Structure 1
């Protein structure tokens, strides 16, 4: 087996690569407005009730009309998954891994096409889209390799005991409900789904209502590569209408969720209840958001720090759970770092995501747009807006990248997850105080420290309480297999997606002891 290496990003400075993406965009635009069915037990089902996926760059443009599952269809999807589990769970690990490798190869061949879908449905610039498609390929290949390794280790003998043969095997759990987020509708959706599938489980996949077409495209890709009927059942629909049904069904064995704190907590509470006919304790795997900080010491490369802050704050319009939402800067260099961040932010060009000249696209929908603008108004009361702060007169959901300075550590903008292009600045008088401010939140996902002081770096490693801590680099950009991803506290169950332990979450170990 060849060693795993992350998928390289596309070099769009090469005119041939830019032309290939332009061609893909033209092709995908010809497919806009199509209808997409539920897929249950391998059957395509078009329902009377549908919902419309819109282009956030041009909010009057329809990406697709998507069939909407109700409670009855949700139950049928669970039942189809349970039936498929009887056979899929017995398929050899190598064969399940082969499906992932085939899908990775197919996705690599269609990389620019999937980039185009991400640009149009999710509002990602070409660089953000390309990074996500590469991450999806990485998840497929990494988990395929991890499953081969897990299968081999699971059948190794344990500590020898005279007169006995003892083996440990990792078995699949059963039916899983997979609920991915809208902000990484290909990479995280793919990673969550195939981690469950490659370990021998079957899945009911409920994509985000903001970005369901990309989910449909990925399921179709899996099917084209040999996915058996019923192993992944695709049920777009309202979380309020079918979410509880999926989580509470007695045949559901686990729930894998990425999304907001409040929804994640509700899912965990529902999953903890034991319903009639249920014979197991359901497992919850959750990633629930963040309020991530970059701490800048007075002894630091200030130019690198400013560039890292701006890139992490405004990449994909700040719509990442790992995005830099708070910049905490030592008072001796505060004005210098703030000034440079303003310059870099003002240089960003905001506009439609499929225009290659733009650095930042829209936010995802009207609800996000309204919420973010409300936080901007709160920022006017709590601090000082030094750049941005306005909606843009464009045909989609566009907001200027905004920096709010001089915020108190307890301010709402320093405590609450905004999930948009709003960056909060706060000063600290010492490095220790900076760490206290960084930890002064209920979240603990990512964080970053810029410092040239080795004692301070060591202290941050020991005391900055986050699942992913970065030193002298930005707090976004985790790579599969390189930076296993997941956070502390209200950021979730610290599941470490893309890491060597992740697949264990979808298995149960069984020991067999035979007297010789």
Structure 2
């Protein structure tokens, strides 16, 4: 029924037609700024007095939208209705559920530049990064639709004479999706439609800095034929609404993407069996990284420098996959560092309203202060080679920053900064480089730049990350091509966009019939 999956192509903004189309989309979005967005509970629009104000991180005076804020009473209403709707939604033909995703993907594809323009405004994404975010959201819908169809009849098991055995997957229940701001469309959409297409109902609590893109997406799902109450839009504070939904005895599954500290806390809360709860909650968490680009002495040094810069500074380093550490063999250390510094100093930073801006702002004031604090720490721990300055007078802009000569145990080599900062450390040989790469509590992504096949083979076994890339940057996993998820304190290695992901949202059921 469905054509084979193929990922959504990225837009070439060097083509005048595409550039003009994107500029028009930006104008359209600018004409809609400041609108109000209600909660959506069981298909009903609910406005509240308490609001979340979404602001443009490039221009903090510009209001993107005013979003109603849920409280515990409304969260309770949403979860009760989601539990009721689950009883019918779980029995809907999986192919029909999949068709909703395909229709939603088609709607987003027709409005691709519009959604990307919202990401430019609300998340501060440069054109290229926004376009990739939207393409990934489309990919998640298309891929998970096909995966659901492939899983709808379960897996083959053996039967003996006189019996028929079946092994099928059945929905789990009410799902709480807590999505991040950094991939405000892609991860939000992926972690919403995965439980939805597998027959669960969803309470979507988006990040408070990027709630408008989420509201627009729920409207798309409705247009695509999603029944009332299957996905409920309940933005609110983590401490009030997030904790309440995580703790609720009717919650069956929690899917979270965000910081290590919040993820660990959520994991602990979900483990407690509440009064009236007759099941153990499942938890899918992706919690970040401290990712390393390893450069061998037998490497293409221009490729190495380019890979370090792209990994470190794409979307201002605000990716859990960002390469915030460069571990370089001592024989080529100075040359690689010089090349990276040169490229870094040429990068453009500003409001991403035109395609030639490489790096936009960081997301908000709290992020700005945190990153600038780490830059101050870096000035004491290492040698500043590039950047190191910030300007928050209009938006939250930080220059791409390179530190050299770091001890592997230094704070900026160990702690997740989540900003445009990369730290260099010197390795005496390849084994030493891998040891340094593994010396953090995280294990999400990593890259090795080397032309030595034996060293790549060693890295395959010894570099302990969930996504390992050879001779390229360590960001930019594509749905269905590079399933994404990490080891250690990076999370539960759920491998989003991969063949095992949907199964995490379902329960296996064995049915045996005797004749």
TM-score by length of 1: 0.99
- Residue 28 of structure 1 is matched in structure 2 by 29
**Secondary structure at 1:17's aligned position in 2?**
helix
Q: In the aligned structure 2, how far is the partner of 1:273 from the partner of 1:46?
A: 33
2:22 counterpart SS class = helix
Q: Which residue of the partner structure matches residue 388 of structure 1?
A: 387
Q: Write the distance in 2 (CA, Å) between the matches of 1:368 and 1:194.
A: 29
The superposition leaves residues 134-154 of structure 1 with CA deviations (integer Å, 9 ceiling, x where unpaired) of 0000000000000000013x1
Per-residue deviation, 1:244: 1.2
Partner residue, 1:266: 265
**1:64-79 superposed matches below 5 A:** 64-79=65-80
Number of residue pairs matched by the alignment: 514
Partner of 1:306: 305
Residue 443 of structure 1 deviates from its aligned partner by 0.1
What is the CA distance between 1:394 and its match in structure 2? 5.5
CA distance in 1, matches of 2:501, 2:418: 26
For the 8 Å contact 1:157–1:165, the answer to whether it is kept is: no
Are 1:379 and 2:386 matched, yes or no? no
SS of 1:178's equivalent in the other structure is strand
After superposition, the C-alpha distances for 1:66-104 in whole angstroms (9 at most, x for unaligned) are: 101111111111111101101110000000000000000
What pairs with 1:100-119 in structure 2 (closer than 5 Å)? 100-119=101-120
Q: Which aligned pairs between 1:93-132 and structure 2 lie closer than 5 A? A: 93-132=94-133
Residue 135 of structure 1 corresponds to which residue in structure 2? 136
Instruction: Give the 3 Å change call, closer, same or farther, for CA 352–157 of structure 1 in structure 2.
Output: closer
Distance 1:360 1:500 in 2: 33
1:479 corresponding residue in structure 2? 478
- 8 A Cα contact 2:128 2:355, kept in partner: no
SS in 2 for 1:5: coil
Q: What SS does the corresponding residue of 1:509 show, helix, strand or coil?
A: strand
Equivalent-residue separation in structure 2 for 1:415 and 1:488 (angstroms): 16
1:231-252 deviation line (CA, Å, top 9, x unaligned): 0010011101111110010000
Deviation at 1:168, TM superposition (A): 1.2
- Please give the per-residue CA displacement for 1:433-491, whole angstroms capped at 9, x wherever unaligned: 00000000000000000011111111100100000000011000100000000000000
The correspondence of residues 256-405 of structure 1 with structure 2, limited to 5 A, is 256-392=255-391, 395-405=394-404
Task: Find the aligned partners of 1:364 and 1:461 in 2 and give their Cα distance.
Answer: 35
1:13 is matched with which residue?
14
Q: Deviations over 1:137-190 (max 9, x none)?
A: 0000000000000013x1x65212011111111000000000011000100000
Q: For the aligned residues, what is the CA RMSD? A: 0.8
What is the CA–CA distance in structure 1 between the aligned matches of 2:196 and 2:412, rounded to whole Å?
39
Correspondence for 2:214: 215
What SS class does the counterpart of residue 304 from structure 1 fall into? helix
Instruction: Measure, in 1, the Cα distance between the counterparts of 2:48 and 2:417.
Output: 35
User: Residue 58 of structure 1 aligns with which residue?
Assistant: 59
Normalized against structure 2, the TM-score is what?
Answer: 0.99
Q: Deviations over 1:305-326 (max 9, x none)?
A: 1001001100000000000000
Q: Indicate whether 1:235 and 2:234 are aligned.
A: yes
Query: Is the Cα–Cα contact under 8 Å of residues 445 and 491 in structure 1 kept in the other structure?
Result: yes
> Is the partner of 1:266 in helix, strand or coil?
helix
Q: Secondary structure at the match of 2:313?
A: helix
Measure the CA separation in 1 of the matches of 2:357 and 2:241.
38
CA contact (8 A) 1:40 1:233 kept: yes
In the alignment, what sits opposite 2:489?
490
What SS is found at the alignment partner of 2:390?
Answer: coil
Contact 2:293 2:325 (C-alpha < 8 Å) held by counterparts: yes
Deviation for aligned residue 1:395: 1.5
Corresponding residue number in structure 1 for 2:170: 171
Note the alpha carbon deviations across 1:7-28, whole angstroms, 9 max, x for none: 0011111111111111111011
The equivalent of 2:421 in structure 1 is 422
Alpha-carbon distance between aligned partners in 1 of 2:513 and 2:83, rounded to the nearest angstrom: 31
Q: Is the 8 A contact 1:487 1:493 kept in 2?
A: yes
Return the offset for 1:385.
Answer: 0.6
Q: How far did residue 51 of structure 1 move?
A: 1.6
1:213 Cα deviation after fit: 0.4
Task: Show CA shifts across 1:475-511 (max 9, x none).
Answer: 0010000000000000000000000000000000111
**1:77 & 1:241 partners in 2: Cα distance?**
14
Structure 1's unaligned 5+ residue stretches are none
Q: Structure 2: how far apart are the matches of 1:134 and 1:403?
A: 30
Shift of 1:392: 3.0
Structure 1 runs (4+) deviating above 3 angstroms are: none
Please say if 1:186 is aligned against 2:185: yes
Alpha-carbon distance in structure 1 between the residues aligned to 2:340 and 2:157: 56
- Cα contact 1:177–1:255 (8 A) shared by 2: yes
